[in-house]
Amino acid sequence: MLAEDMNELFGIYSTDKKLPRKNLISLLQSIFDSASEIECESLCDSLLNRKDVDLSMPQFKIIWDNFLEPVLKPVSAFVIVDVQNDFISGSLALTNCPAQEDGAEVVPVINRLLTSTPFSHVFYTYDWHPRNHISFHSNLKLHKSRLLSPQPDNWESVSMFDRVQFDGKPPLEQTMWPDHCIQGTDGAKLHKELKFIEGGLEIYKGFNHSVDSYSAFWDNGEVSATGLLNELNSRNVTDVYVCGLATDICVNFTATHACKHNFRVILVEDACRGVDTAAIAQTKEKLSDLGALIRTSDTILPLVKGEEIPIKLAMVAADNFRRKFAATLLST
C-alpha cells in the first residue's frame, strides 16, 4: 500500500479533485495487494452500489472513516468459548464423544495466542447452567409437560443424547445432555491451565433453566441476549476470532451469530475441538460460506495487526458499509 493517510491517498489517486471508479479500483489494489483486479472491481461495486460515480473528497471521507480505516486498523476480539472442565475431563468430556477429540489440547494453543498476539479485547465464555436446566437428561421428568416430540407420556423413552422438541415460539429442538457446567461447580470452571489475562471479560450463557444457549450471543430461541453483542459494539470491534469447545456446537453457533451480526469472523481451527467429525467439517464449510476465514493459530498475527487484509474479509466489510452508508454516500 502506498499510504495510510486519507488526504495523501486521495491526492495520489484523484483527478481534478474527483476520484473516478477506475482510480478507486487502483487504490484498492494498492491496499489489497494479493487481490486480483476483478476482485477489486467487485469490491468497488459493493462499496458504491453503482458503477458511474466519481467520488468527491467528502464522499471519499465517508469511505475512509467507515470502510478503509476500520479495515486497515482492525479492532479485534478473541472469543474463547467454554474451555471448561466438564468438556475436558468431566461429565461431557469430548474424549467420550464420537470424534474422540481432546479438549485439553486447545489450552496451550490459546495460551500461546494470548501471549503472542495483540488482540484488542479477550472474552471468555461459560456454559452456566442451573441444576434444573432443561438440557439435562436427568431433568426430563421436570420438563416433560413441555414435550412436543415425543409426547409427554412417552418421556421415559428418551435416552441420553436423543433429540427432543419442546414447546416454544418457535418450538425448540434440544439434545438431552448429561448434567454439565452447573453454576458454581468445579465442572463449570475454566481449565486450570488456561491463561486468564488481565482485562479479560466473562460472558455467561445457558443460565435460564427453560432454554439452552449454545451461542455466546443468544439463547437457542434467539430471544434473550447474553450481552456479548453490546460489549463488542461498545468497543467498536470489527474482527471476531473464535476458538474453544465444541467446534460443531457452541463454537459453531457463536461464530455463526458473529457472521450474522456483520463482524468479520476468523475461526482459529487448531484452537478448537469438537464432538462429531462430520459435523465439524460441516461447521467449517458453513462458516466459510457465511464469509468467515478458517485459519490456524500460526497465521493470524498479520491479520490482527492489520498487515494482511484478505479480500474475503474486505468484502464482508464492504457489504456492511453498503448497508449502512450507501445512501449517505450518494446524497453527499
pLDDT tens-digit map of 71-110: 989 999 999 999 999 999 999 999 999 999 999 999 999 9
pLDDT of residue 4: 59
Instruction: State the average pLDDT over residues 267-281.
Output: 98
pLDDT of residue 46: 87
Instruction: State the average pLDDT over residues 174-198.
Output: 97
Instruction: Answer whether residue 111 shows pLDDT above 80.
Output: yes
Which amino acids are annotated catalytic? 82, 205, 250
- Looking at the DSSP bridge assignments, the partners of residue 242 are 79, 267
Tell which residue, 81, 65, 82, has the closest CA to residue 73: 65
Tell which residue, 141, 89, 18, has the closest CA to residue 273: 89
**Structural domains of the chain, ranges and CATH numbers in brackets:** 6-73+309-331 (1.10.238), 76-136+177-304 (3.40.50.850)
pLDDT tens-digit map of 2-59: 445 888 888 889 888 899 989 999 999 988 878 888 999 999 988 887 666 788 999 9
Instruction: Answer whether residue 207 shows pLDDT above 50.
Output: yes
- From residue 279, alpha-carbon distances to 7, 158, 190, 237, 249 in Å are 49, 22, 25, 29, 9
What whole-number percentage of the chain has pLDDT above 70?
A: 98
Helix (H) or strand (E) holding 242: strand 239-245
Instruction: State the average pLDDT over residues 104-127.
Output: 98
| Rounded Cα distance, 219 and 76, in Å | 24
Mean pLDDT, the chain, integer: 94
What whole-number percentage of the chain has pLDDT above 90?
A: 82
Instruction: Supply the pTM of this predicted model.
Output: 0.94
Question: How would you label 98-124 residue by residue, b for 16+ Cβ within 10 Å and e otherwise?
Answer: ebebebbebbebbeebbeebebebbbb
Report which of residues 167 and 8 the model is more confident about.
Answer: 167
- The phi, psi pair for 146, rounded to 5°, reads -90, -5
Question: Where are any strands of DSSP class E within 98-185?
Answer: 121-127, 147-149, 163-166, 172-175
Contact in structure between 271 and 106 (CB atoms under 8 Å): yes
pLDDT of residue 51: 66
Using omega within 30 degrees of 0 as the cis cutoff, is the peptide bond preceding 152 cis?
no
| Rounded Cα distance, 31 and 308, in Å | 10
